[in-house]
Structure 1
């Protein structure tokens, strides 16, 4: 069994090595080939797989062999599009996360001032209060935290519900919206790239607004000629 796994690992490594060599030879040169981040990633994985799994490099070799499964991402266009969308959405998500941190800090400061005398373990200072709020935002036994403070401040439920509304609904949807927006752009770009690779006949291309307007004008002219002949 172990020998079969070794042979399978060797076969996969050889297959990936041949595939990367063919892609390199089919490209327009090293500069063009390595201008694609996925090609760099695949090359690193393949070179790492060729390192003998022994000696001081055994840990590195094993790690690269584990990451070899990520080559599926570069081989399947749909997965590659998803990863590209996620990476491009990180800056937008970073700004949303920064705004979330501001909200956490404001609510944490308010909570530490109001509720520290109720439960010092949960609201002792701003940092601990922010951790408590993170627990509230994940809905982990958040009602017990709320009811404890409501025993002293009956209207404190407004504090929790407003915080949950902002973090669990507004900001979460903003995160999803940022990713979906980038995914839409990536899908359109991939579709345009596929259309550029395939020569679509003019008859198969959808009519533009100008074509439709021109066709309507021609129909109106034909109607006018028919009416003149009928008259």
Structure 2
């Protein structure tokens, strides 16, 4: 068995995949531990642990590259490019380096490798990215609604509470607070003391933003996620051998066996 085949078996090994995930989790915990003031022994342990994680990630990305039949195809995947950049920049030594800050920041992004390793997480991220163009129009429409209601609120309620309705920018922040239901009734009751019907203003705004637009966003993301699942299933099915290919391979094996038997006779 060739080295490439052995590495391919290692890559497809379930235990190895779980070990990679475990190392990523340990890397996340190690990054979090470095934000505390550690005693010298713990700092030394985290230092050598960081070296091990860096070397292991380098080994893991090398295995994935070597076992890829088409090397150009390897770099066509955005996740492979991301993993490679994270691993390469992680090789920058942290101590006594002008790029120490960059190296520390990139080590934080090693946690995102969990996404590239687990297919389900990749589908979620890809769905969100593919949904962004459609979500852009929803966000634009929501901004228009925010702007209109903020202008009305500033004109009507500025004299009641200038801290919440002083200008259109502050009014938009207040409306964001209302949309997230953060003590929004206090704001409403304050204006209702002067304008008893101002509850219509708040309820219509909440209906448009918290209910209508939120359901739009959920609908778009769910629709794109379903498309992404179908695309992933189609790619998986395309990579699997078809029944016709299996029959052809069996026929070729049968012909080879028959030829060998004739040679022996």
Task: State which of 199, 210, 216 in structure 2 corresponds to 1:157.
Answer: 199
> Is 1:113 aligned with 2:180?
no
TM-score of the pair, normalised by structure 1: 0.80
> Is the alpha carbon distance of 1:5 and 1:117 closer, same or farther for their aligned partners in structure 2, counting shifts above 3 Å?
closer
| Aligned position for 1:175 | 217
| Aligned position for 1:213 | none
Cα distance between partner residues in 1 of 2:235 and 2:157: 57
Aligned length: 202
Cα distance between partner residues in 1 of 2:75 and 2:192: 61
> How far off is 1:157 after superposition?
0.7
Cα distance between partner residues in 1 of 2:164 and 2:56: 56
The superposition leaves residues 196-215 of structure 1 with CA deviations (integer Å, 9 ceiling, x where unpaired) of: 2223548xxxxxxxxxxxxx
| Aligned position for 1:146 | 188
TM-score of the pair, normalised by structure 2: 0.70
Task: State which of 101, 104, 117 in structure 1 corresponds to 2:143.
Answer: 101
| Aligned position for 1:187 | 229
Cα distance between partner residues in 1 of 2:46 and 2:161: 57
The superposition leaves residues 9-41 of structure 1 with CA deviations (integer Å, 9 ceiling, x where unpaired) of: 323222221222232233355532222111110
Cα distance between partner residues in 1 of 2:199 and 2:170: 19
Cα distance between partner residues in 2 of 1:152 and 1:161: 17
Query: Any idea what SS the aligned residue of 1:199 has?
Result: coil
| Aligned position for 2:166 | 124
| Aligned position for 1:8 | 49
Task: State which of 10, 34, 38 in structure 1 corresponds to 2:75.
Answer: 34
Structure ID, larger Rg? 1
Cα distance between partner residues in 1 of 2:147 and 2:86: 42
Cα distance between partner residues in 2 of 1:106 and 1:23: 53
Query: Any idea what SS the aligned residue of 1:180 has?
Result: helix
| Aligned position for 1:85 | 127
Query: Any idea what SS the aligned residue of 1:56 has?
Result: coil
Query: Any idea what SS the aligned residue of 1:27 has?
Result: coil
> Is 1:76 aligned with 2:118?
yes
Q: Which runs of 5 or more structure 2 residues have no equivalent in the other structure?
A: 1-41, 245-265
Task: State which of 59, 62, 65 in structure 2 corresponds to 1:21.
Answer: 62
> Is 1:46 aligned with 2:87?
yes
Cα distance between partner residues in 1 of 2:55 and 2:136: 40
Question: Which sits farther off after the overlay, 50-59 or 25-34?
Answer: 25-34
The superposition leaves residues 169-224 of structure 1 with CA deviations (integer Å, 9 ceiling, x where unpaired) of: 1111111112111111111111111112223548xxxxxxxxxxxxxxxxxxxxxx
Query: Any idea what SS the aligned residue of 2:99 has?
Result: helix
> Is 1:64 aligned with 2:106?
yes
